[in-house]
C-alpha cells in the first residue's frame, strides 16, 4: 500500500522447492502412503494373475473374430489395474494428508508465514501425481514381464485416457481434501467413493465380462470412464469419445468447486 | 514517544451473534515485551490473529509496522513471527528440517543453528516432532516464529501445559529473545507470567480492555494499603497481639490488626506504606522477636479483582486452556 512495501509477486512461493523436497521426504517416512500409491495396484495384478485359476490361459470361448479371442484374461484386467493406479493416490492418500494438515493446524501455521498455504497443497499434488506415474509404470513393467500383455492398439488413446483419468481423479480427490474437516472424515469419504469406483472400473468384472448395466453406469464415473477408455485404446479400434468427455467434464467442474470450497482451518 | 510498531484501535470482531472482541485499543512500542492478559475466552487470541491478518475484523483499525494488515495481510508476513497456541507440524519432520523449511520462506532468515542454540534444541536437531516433549515442542514453535528474523514476534500462550520448571526457562528465553531486539507481543492467561515478563500490558476481559499500563504501575495504582505479617511462637503471641493492637490505636501509619486464618500464630498488620517502620520498633521495644516477617505483595490478580469485581480463578490445566480461547 505504500512505497515501503513493494509488491513482490514471487514472495508467496519463496521456498517452494525446499517445501516440496521436505514434504516428499517426510511423506516417505509414512510407509503406508507410498506403498498404496505405488505398489498396491501391482500387487492386485500379480494376485489376480497368479491366484485366480485360468487368468493366464488364452480366451478361446470368444468368437474367433472378436478382439478378445486369444488374449489372456489377465491382459484384459490391465486397464482396470491402471485405472486403480490412477485413482489410489489421488483419492485415498492425498485427501487424507491434506485433511490431517488441516486438522493439526499445519495449513494455519503456514498461513502465518510468507508461504501461501496453497504451497503445501500444491506440493502434495505433485508428490501424489509422481507416485501415481511410478505406480502406473510399475504395473506396466510387471504386466509385460510376468504376463506378456500385448502392446496397445491405439497408444495415443491410452495416453489420453490415462491423462484425463488422472486429472478427473485428482480433481475428485481435491474436492474431498477441500471439504473434509478431519483426517478420519477424509478417509471415510474417500473410501466410500473408492470402492464403488473400483467396482465400476472392473476390479471384479474386468473389460469384456463386465455386465452391461454396470458398464452403462460406470461410463459416467471418472474411474469407470478411465477403465473403459483404456480398454478401448488398448485392445479395440473405436474412439471412446463419451468416456473422455466424461473425465474432462469431471475435471472442469470439480477443480473450481474444490478451490471454492477449500477450508484452511 | 517512539512510533509504535503495532497499533490496534477500537478493534471489534464477532462470530455470528457472539462478540469475541468488543472494543480493544492498544499500541506496542519497539523493543518491549507487551502483554495481552486475560482469562480464557476474553478475546486475546482473536485480537492477535486479527492483527496478524489471519482474521477479518468487523470494525476498528490494525496497523503493524505502519501497514494495514486487514487490507494487505501479506505486507508484514516477512517481518512478523507468529507462534500459535497449538503446535502444528507433521509428526515425522525433524527439528532441523522444520527450521530449514521455514527459513526458506523468508527473505533474510536467521541462522537455524544459532536459533537451535538459543532455544537449547541443538541436541534434538534430528529428533522427529512427534517425539519431542511438550517443552521441546514449545521451544521449536518459538524458534519457528523467530526463524524469519522478525521485527515483531507474537507468542500465544507459550507456556500453557508446561511444568513450572520448563515455564521458568521459557520465560528466560523470551527475555533473551527480546534482548536481541525483537519486539514481543505476549498473549497469556497467567498473571504471574505477565507480571514477570511484560514491560507493559493490557488486561482484556469479555472483549474489552479493562486496564493498561506497566505491571508495577497497575499494582501501585490499586490503593496505598500495605500489609505486614508477623508470626510468633505460642508464648510470644499474646503479648505481641497486645502490643500491635495498642499500636493500631495510637500510630497514624497503622490502621488495622487481624489474625488471618491459615497459619497459627500469624498476625497481619495493615496500614500506610510506612506500616513496616511502625511495627518493627514497637516489637523491638517490647523485645518480641517474630519467627517470621513478611510483607504481603499485591499482584495483577488484585488488579483484575479491582477492575472487574471478579476473582481471577484460572486453573492451570492445559485442557481448559485449550478449549476456551478460540472465541
B89/A109 Cβ within 8 A: yes
Chain A partners within 8 Å of B106 (Cβ) = 14-15, 113-114
Q: Percent of chain B, pLDDT > 70?
A: 94
pLDDT at B161 over 90: no
Cell of A22: 521436505
pLDDT at A2 over 90: no
User: What integer pLDDT is reported at residue A11 of this predicted model?
Assistant: 61
pLDDT at B327 over 70: no
How distant is the alpha carbon of residue A88 from its chain centre? 5
3-class DSSP state for residue A202? coil
Chain A partners within 8 Å of B71 (Cβ) = 1
User: What integer pLDDT is reported at residue B314 of this predicted model?
Assistant: 58
Cell of A23: 514434504
B101/A19 Cβ within 8 A: yes
A114/B106 Cβ within 8 A: yes
Q: Which residue has the higher pLDDT, B243 or B2?
A: B243
Chain B partners within 8 Å of A111 (Cβ) = 54
Query: How many interface pairs between A and B have CB atoms less than 8 angstroms apart?
Result: 84
How distant is the alpha carbon of residue A133 from its chain centre? 9
- List strands edge to edge, sheet with B200-205: B67-68, B59-64, B6-15, B18-28, B208-213, B200-205, B33-37, B183-188, B152-156, B80-83
| Own/partner long-range contacts of B294-297 (Cβ < 8 Å, ≥24 apart) | B294/B228, B294/B229, B295/B226, B295/B227, B295/B228, B295/B229, B296/B226, B296/B227, B296/B228, B296/B229, B296/B268
**What whole-number distance in Å separates Cα of residue B46 and Cα of residue B187?**
11
**What whole-number distance in Å separates Cα of residue A213 and Cα of residue A15?**
50
Q: What's the DSSP call for residue A12?
A: G
**pLDDT, chain B, mean:** 87
Q: How far is A128 from chain B (nearest CA, A)?
A: 17
**What whole-number distance in Å separates Cα of residue A92 and Cα of residue A89?**
6
Chain B partners within 8 Å of A123 (Cβ) = none
B84/A109 Cβ within 8 A: yes
Cell of A212: 452391461
User: What integer pLDDT is reported at residue A5 of this predicted model?
Assistant: 42
Chain B partners within 8 Å of A105 (Cβ) = 84, 86-88
A1/B54 Cβ within 8 A: no
A22/B101 Cβ within 8 A: yes
B92/A29 Cβ within 8 A: yes
Mutation target vs B (from A17, A33, A113; most B CBs, 10 A cutoff): A113
Which of B74, B97, B107 lies closest to A22 in CB terms?
B97
Which of B67, B80, B104 lies closest to A14 in CB terms?
B104
A101/B93 Cβ within 8 A: no
Angle, helices A222-235 vs A241-261, to 10°: value is: 150
Cα dihedral A33/A183/B161/B15 (nearest 10): 150
User: What integer pLDDT is reported at residue B295 of this predicted model?
Assistant: 84
Chain A partners within 8 Å of B64 (Cβ) = none
B74/A11 Cβ within 8 A: yes
Q: How far is B204 from chain A (nearest CA, A)?
A: 24
pLDDT at B91 over 50: yes
User: What integer pLDDT is reported at residue A7 of this predicted model?
Assistant: 43
Q: How far is B46 from chain A (nearest CA, A)?
A: 14
Which of A11, A30, A114 lies closest to B92 in CB terms?
A30
Which of B66, B102, B103 lies closest to A4 in CB terms?
B66
- What are the pLDDT digits (tens) for A191-239? 999 999 999 999 998 888 899 999 999 999 999 999 999 999 999 999 9
User: Exposed (0-12), middle (13-18) or buried (19+): which is A57, by Cβ within 10 Å?
Assistant: exposed
pLDDT at A4 over 80: no
pLDDT at B34 over 60: yes
Cell of B300: 495483577
pLDDT at B309 over 90: no
Nearest C-alpha in A relative to B105: A15
- What are the pLDDT digits (tens) for B229-279? 899 888 888 899 999 999 988 889 888 888 876 677 888 888 888 888 999
Which of A14, A101, A105 lies closest to B84 in CB terms?
A105
Confidence of residue B313 (pLDDT cuts 50, 70, 90): low
A114/B148 Cβ within 8 A: yes
A18/B104 Cβ within 8 A: yes
Locate the DSSP E strands across chain B. 6-15, 18-28, 33-37, 59-64, 67-68, 80-83, 152-156, 183-188, 200-205, 208-213, 226-231, 254-258, 266-271, 292-296
Chain B partners within 8 Å of A17 (Cβ) = 104
**What whole-number distance in Å separates Cα of residue B231 and Cα of residue B267?**
6
Nearest C-alpha in B relative to A117: B105
Report which of A239, A192, A179, A248 is spatially closest to residue A220, judged by C-alpha positions.
Answer: A248
Sequence-distant (≥ 6) Cβ neighbours of residue B135 within 8 angstroms: B162, B163, B166, B169, B170
According to DSSP, the residues that pair with A236 across neighbouring strands are none
Cell of A252: 472442469
Amino acid at each position: 500500500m505504500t512505497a515501503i512495501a513493494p509488491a513482490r509477486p514471487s514472495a508467496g512461493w519463496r521456498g517452494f522447492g525446499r517445501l516440496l523436497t521436505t514434504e516428499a521426504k517426510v511423506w516417505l517416512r509414512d510407509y503406508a502412503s507410498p506403498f498404496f500409491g505405488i505398489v498396491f495396484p501391482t500387487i492386485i495384478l500379480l494376485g489376480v494373475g497368479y491366484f485366480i485359476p485360468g487368468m493366464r490361459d488364452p480366451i478361446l470361448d470368444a468368437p474367433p473374430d472378436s478382439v478378445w479371442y486369444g488374449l489372456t484374461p489377465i491382459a484384459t484386467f490391465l486397464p482396470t489395474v491402471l485405472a486403480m493406479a490412477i485413482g489410489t493416490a489421488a483419492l485415498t492418500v492425498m485427501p487424507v494428508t491434506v485433511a490431517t494438515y488441516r486438522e493439526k493446524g499445519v495449513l494455519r501455521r503456514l498461513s502465518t508465514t510468507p508461504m501461501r498455504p496453497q504451497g503445501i497443497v500444491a506440493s502434495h499434488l505433485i508428490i501424489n501425481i509422481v507416485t501415481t506415474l511410478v505406480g502406473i509404470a510399475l504395473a506396466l513393467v510387471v504386466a509385460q514381464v510376468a504376463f506378456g500383455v500385448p502392446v496397445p492398439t491405439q497408444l495415443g488413446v491410452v495416453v489420453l485416457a490415462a491423462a484425463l483419468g488422472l486429472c478427473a481423479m485428482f480433481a475428485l480427490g481435491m474436492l474431498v481434501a477441500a471439504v473434509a474437516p478431519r483426517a478420519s472424515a477424509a478417509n471415510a469419504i474417500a473410501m466410500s467413493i473408492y470402492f464403488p469406483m473400483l467396482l465400476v472400473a472392473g476390479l471384479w468384472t474386468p473389460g469384456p465380462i463386465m455386465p452391461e448395466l454396470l458398464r452403462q453406469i460406470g461410463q459416467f464415473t471418472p474411474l469407470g470412464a478411465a477403465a473403459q477408455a483404456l480398454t478401448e485404446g488398448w485392445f479395440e479400434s473405436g474412439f471412446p469419445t463419451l468416456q473422455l468427455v466424461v473425465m474432462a467434464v469431471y475435471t472442469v467442474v470439480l477443480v473450481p468447486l474444490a478451490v471454492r470450497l477449500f477450508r484452511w482451518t | 514517544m517512539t512510533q509504535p510498531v503495532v497499533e490496534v484501535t477500537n478493534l471489534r470482531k464477532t462470530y455470528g451473534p457472539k462478540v469475541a472482541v468488543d472494543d480493544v485499543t492498544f499500541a506496542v512500542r519497539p523493543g518491549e515485551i507487551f502483554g495481552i492478559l486475560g482469562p480464557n475466552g476474553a478475546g486475546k487470541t482473536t485480537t492477535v490473529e486479527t492483527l496478524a491478518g489471519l482474521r477479518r475484523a468487523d470494525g476498528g483499525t490494525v496497523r503493524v509496522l505502519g501497514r494495514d494488515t486487514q487490507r494487505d495481510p501479506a505486507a508484514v508476513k516477512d517481518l512478523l513471527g507468529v507462534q500459535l497456541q497449538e503446535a502444528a507440524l507433521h509428526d515425522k519432520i525433524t527439528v532441523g528440517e522444520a527450521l530449514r523449511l521455514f527459513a526458506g520462506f523468508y527473505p533474510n532468515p536467521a541462522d537455524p543453528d544459532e536459533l537451535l542454540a538459543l532455544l537449547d534444541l541443538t541436541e534434538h536437531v534430528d529428533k522427529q516432532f512427534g517425539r519431542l516433549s511438550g517443552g521441546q515442542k514449545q521451544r521449536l514453535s518459538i524458534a519457528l516464529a523467530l526463524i524469519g528474523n522478525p521485527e515483531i514476534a507474537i507468542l500465544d500462550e507459550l507456556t500453557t501445559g508446561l511444568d513450572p520448571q520448563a515455564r521458568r526457562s521459557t520465560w528466560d528465553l523470551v527475555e533473551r529473545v527480546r534482548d536481541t531486539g525483537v519486539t514481543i507481543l505476549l498473549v497469556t492467561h497467567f498473571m504471574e507470567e505477565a507480571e514477570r515478563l511484560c514491560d507493559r500490558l493490557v488486561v482484556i476481559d469479555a472483549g474489552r480492555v479493562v486496564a493498561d499500563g506497566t505491571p508495577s504501575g497497575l499494582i501501585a495504582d490499586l490503593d496505598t494499603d500495605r500489609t505486614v505479617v508477623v508470626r510468633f511462637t505460642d508464648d510470644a503471641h499474646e503479648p505481641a497481639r497486645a502490643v500491635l493492637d495498642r499500636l493500631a490505636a495510637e500510630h497514624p501509619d497503622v490502621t488495622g490488626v487481624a489474625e488471618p486464618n491459615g497459619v497459627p500464630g500469624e498476625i497481619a498488620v495493615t496500614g500506610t506504606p510506612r506500616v513496616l517502620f511502625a511495627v518493627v520498633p514497637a516489637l523491638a521495644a517490647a523485645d518480641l522477636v517474630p519467627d517470621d516477617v513478611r510483607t504481603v505483595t499485591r499482584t495483577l490478580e488484585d488488579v483484575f479483582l479491582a477492575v472487574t469485581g471478579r476473582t481471577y480463578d484460572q486453573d492451570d490445566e492445559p485442557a481448559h486452556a485449550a478449549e476456551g480461547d478460540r472465541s
